[in-house]
Structure 1
């Protein structure tokens, strides 16, 4: 009896399960049909909205209308969605297609953006062509640095449209930024040109200075000069990196560098002096020579009311200048070491200057005076000295430029300008 009851309950439950499943299938098919009708109705609404939008656009900007029809793709607007049907403990998923009305709005926005992008790209291309011709290498250098961040910025579209058009962005053109870019490149080119001119001038001065020195050198000293230049050229032509800044309200602070070359005349002059010392270190003029005759004359004659100044040198050659009461050089002469020379002068008041040294360089620049450039001087051991003013009337003044015990001459230090001007 008990078994019969259990079997009866089982059959009852089985019948109930089968009934539920039957009802679920029936209701699910009804739901599927409703979903299909919804798909069709919703797609019809979408297509009507599309036609309404086309009608609206046809009465407006024809370019937007053309782009809308060109870009329209119904499959892009349709997405697949999931829903489910439940009945008691049973549940089943179903997929359906949904045409988003939002696609039409996004497509409209895309057409507007594409039209404006076309205008902006044309403006940008014109600027690129203009600046390429005007600024050349400078534009090629700096355009890539500012292109994406400043000059050709791409703005993303709204998030709600990005699913339909993931590659769409808005290209911007800002005339103010391009104007600032042109101002910057003009300033950059100007500073670059100044830097190049400075470097070219330094190279020219160097080449001219080398040529000038070589023109005054003997053949056996030129190799010595070239060797000195080779060793010290980096210290003569000095290349430095100069940092510049340009502050733009739209481009920001721009920092850039230039390499400039400068001519170090002091270092070159030291080498030049050393080379001339090498060339002229044993050179000496004859006693009585007057190397500055083009400036001070070569007169050593006096025929009435005359006095004499006699100079005997010691271990160094000496160039003597004699100034009158007005401070003008009236006599000068070269005296070799250990020799004596006598100057004949009219009676009067005079001051005697002594320029001593070793090795006479006839091309050495000394100073500039009323005659122009005074050239000729010793290459080493230079020393300027002088005596006080002396008055001579039919007298002889003798100078012995040698160290003597209990001597009566004590000269004072002097200078090049004092002796020659």
Structure 2
């Protein structure tokens, strides 16, 4: 009988306290170290620092950990400007000044893309940036009712946790939206059923404030009036079922402006819009500039949403065809084109990740393409897009990892990267948006 020796599995490191020296950072500005043959990703740690950490995840080839004590600090480390920084999960980079955040985010993304694509260097352009505080025009407000203590927590979730951190303000939220925390704290205890409201969303559309209250139990007219009386300047909307909205006062359609293009875009409360109005305007302007839209261009806009880029392109191009996966947003895009007097826009609903159908829009007639996918990226779409052989492709990305993956597809099909630039849409967070221009060689 043969005895087969099996190595005794190592005990899990999860929950253990370790001391690590941080060598570098990744594209989300996590500190990177090594421990027992594994790579360690450490939140809130900077290159050159020695830190005490708590392990939150232990996998075969890596561990994740969070910083509990800084033993030797980097010269870049600052005192967090927000009093909630140690607990709130909304911002991840409160320990860095905005300029240092931008530098480290771009450095990490540069390394990621070069590693994934094999490019030796990237043609970086100046980063788009705006105000570091008060920039969010939309946010979801979490609500938790503690039955034992009979009190509410209104705010945001703790980092990587379900616990709600109660706030009375947020430094990155638009000042017009800040009253939402105190208003909800005032009204919620007056409800007959404390758990009736699960969360709220606050939104600034132009100068109008909207509050969407998600409730799982019916709220009477008297209860609705409690919210209205507490903040009469806001437009209150109830959401009993996902996507089913009831205006408690009057029907007011949310809208925002692109002032440089003199465009007005209307949207539904659950439609996607960029949360940073200033940088959204800069992105649209840069897209027009980089693509150099001319009166002879036929343009395809993928993941077009309500027409944020579509309408601005249509003002200069011969034709624009927009593709969007959500049918009601396709309808909203068509409404916005009509609202702005643009007759050269057509739109279709399509799941761009599935095989593209034989359709009038799926023809090699476009010389320029813009795509602005969600965080999952555009892998399926990129592989089909190259068959149309457009001369230029402008990729707007909110996830550097999926962008690097998709960029590799474009490069393999004969495109070259002409320009790439960061968009600091969410200062004090680990996210950096990207805009990249590819051209057919």
TM-score > 0.5, shorter chain as reference: no
TM range (shorter): under 0.3
Q: Higher RCO, 1 or 2 (CA under 8 Å, sep at least 6)?
A: 2
State the TM-score, normalized to the length of structure 2: 0.17
Higher gyration radius (CA): 1
Structure showing the higher helix proportion among its residues: 1
Q: What's the TM-score, normalizing by structure 1?
A: 0.17
